[in-house]
Chain A
Amino acid sequence: MNKLNRDQMAARVARDIPEGAVVNLGIGLPTLVANHLPKDREILLHSENGVLGMGPAPVAGEEDYDLINAGKQPVTLLRGGSFFHHADSFGMMRGGHLDFCVLGAFQVSACGDLANWHTGAPDAIPAVGGAMDLAIGAKQVFVMMEHLTKQGESKIVEHCSYPVTGVGCVNRIYTDLAVIDVTSEGLRVQEIVEGLSFDELVKMSGVPMRRAQVKAYA
Chain B
Amino acid sequence: MINKIVSTIAEALEDLNDGATVMIGGFGPAGLPAELIDALIAQGAKDLTIVNNNAGNGETGLAALLKARRVRKIICSFPRQVDSQVFDALYRAGDIELELVPQGNLAERIRAAGAGIGGFFTPTAYGTDLAKGKETRIINGRGYVLELPIHADFALIKAERGDRWGNLAYRKTARNFAPIMATAAKCTIVQVHEIVELGALDPETIVTPGIFVKRVVRIARSAAASAAGSQAA
| Residue ranges of A at the interface with B (Cβ–Cβ < 8 Å) | 47-51, 64-68, 72, 77, 83-87, 89-91, 93-94, 118, 123, 125-133, 136-137, 163-167
| Interface 1/0 per residue, B49-88 and A, CB below 8 Å | 0000000000000000000000000000111110000011
CA distance A131 to B128 in the complex (A): 12
Contact A66 B91 (CB under 8 A): no
Which of B79, B111, B122, B174 contacts A66 (CB under 8 A)?
B174
Which of A85, A126, A131, A133 contacts B176 (CB under 8 A)?
A85
Can you report 16 residue pairs joining A to B where beta carbons are below 8 Å apart?
Answer: A49-B173, A49-B176, A66-B173, A72-B29, A85-B180, A86-B180, A90-B108, A118-B129, A125-B88, A127-B78, A129-B77, A129-B78, A129-B102, A130-B77, A132-B124, A133-B105
Known: A128-B102, A130-B102. A50 touches B176 (CB 8 A): yes
Closest residue of A by beta carbon distance from B107 = A86
Contact B122 A94 (CB under 8 A): yes
CA distance A50 to B228 in the complex (A): 18
Contact A137 B179 (CB under 8 A): no
CA distance A80 to B174 in the complex (A): 18
Contact A125 B80 (CB under 8 A): yes
| Residue ranges of B at the interface with A (Cβ–Cβ < 8 Å) | 27-31, 77-81, 87-88, 91-92, 98, 100-108, 110-111, 122-130, 143, 170-180, 207, 225, 228-229, 231-232
Contact A87 B29 (CB under 8 A): no
The 3 closest A-B pairs by CB, nearest first: A90-B104, A133-B104, A72-B28
Known: A65-B232, A133-B102, A163-B128. A50 touches B175 (CB 8 A): yes
Contact B78 A49 (CB under 8 A): no
Known: A49-B30, A132-B128, A136-B124. A127 touches B180 (CB 8 A): no
**Which B residues are CB-close (under 8 A) to A164?**
127-128
Contact B78 A66 (CB under 8 A): no
**Which residue, of B100, B122, B173, B228, has the highest number of chain A Cβ atoms within 10 A?**
B173
Which of B143, B175, B229, B232 contacts A72 (CB under 8 A)?
B232
**Which A residues are CB-close (under 8 A) to B232?**
65, 72
A-B contacts at CB below 8 angstroms, number: 144
Contact B126 A125 (CB under 8 A): no
**Which residue, of A50, A77, A164, has the highest number of chain B Cβ atoms within 10 A?**
A50
CA distance A166 to B124 in the complex (A): 8
B32 to chain A, nearest CB (A): 10
Contact A87 B110 (CB under 8 A): yes
CA distance A86 to B111 in the complex (A): 9
Contact B78 A133 (CB under 8 A): no
CA distance A94 to B104 in the complex (A): 8
**Which A residues are CB-close (under 8 A) to B77?**
127-130
Contact B102 A86 (CB under 8 A): no
Closest residue of A by beta carbon distance from B77 = A129
CA distance A126 to B76 in the complex (A): 11
Closest residue of A by beta carbon distance from B79 = A127
Contact A130 B143 (CB under 8 A): no
**Which A residues are CB-close (under 8 A) to B173?**
47, 49-51, 66-68, 83
Contact B175 A84 (CB under 8 A): yes
**Which A residues are CB-close (under 8 A) to B229?**
65
Contact A68 B126 (CB under 8 A): no
Contact A94 B100 (CB under 8 A): no
